Amino acid sequence: MENRDAGLVEKISVLKKKRNAVILVHNYQLGEVQDIADFTGDSLELSQNAAKTGADVIVFCGVHFMAETASILCPDKVVLLPDLNAGCPMANMITAERLRAMKKEHPHAVVVCYINSSAEVKAESNICCTSANAVKVIESLDAQEILFVPDQYLGHYISSRTGKKMILWPGFCPTHVRIQPERISELKREYPQAKVVVHPECLPEVIALADAVLSTSGMCRYARRDEVREMVVGTEIGLMYRLRKENPGKRFIPVSEQAVCPNMKLITLEKVLRSLEEMSPEVKVSREIRLRAIAAVDKMLKVSREL
| Helices and strands: H and E segment counts in the chain | 14, 12
131 contact, one of ligand 13P, ligand SF4, none, CB 5-8 Å limit per kind:
ligand 13P
Q: Of 16 and 64, which has the nearer Cβ to ligand 13P?
A: 64
As a whole number of angstroms, the distance between CA 130 and CA 80 comes to 22
As a whole number of angstroms, the distance between CA 301 and CA 247 comes to 29
Q: Of 8 and 88, which has the nearer Cβ to ligand SF4?
A: 88
Sequence-ordered list of residues with C-beta below 8 angstroms from that of 277, at least 6 positions apart, any chain:
15
Contact set for ligand 13P, span 55-94 (CB under 6 A): none
In this structure, the number of other CB atoms found within 10 A of the CB of residue 226 comes to 5
Q: Pattern of binders to ligand 13P over 17-56, x per CB under 6 A?
A: ----------x--------------xx-------------
- Asked if 204 and 181 count as a contact pair (C-beta separation under 8 A), the reply is no
Strand-pairing partners, residue 80, are 59, 282
Q: Is 130 in the site for ligand 13P (CB under 6 A)?
A: yes
List helix spans (H) across 124-163. Answer: 134-139, 152-162
263 contact, one of ligand SF4, ligand 13P, none, CB 5-8 Å limit per kind:
ligand SF4
Provide the binding-site residues for ligand SF4, judged by CB under 6 A: 63, 88-90, 116, 173-176, 201, 236, 261, 263-264
Q: Of 118 and 175, which has the nearer Cβ to ligand SF4?
A: 175
The length of the chain in residues reads 307
The residue ranges that bind ligand 13P (CB under 6 A) are 27, 42-43, 116, 130-131, 173, 199, 201, 215-216, 236
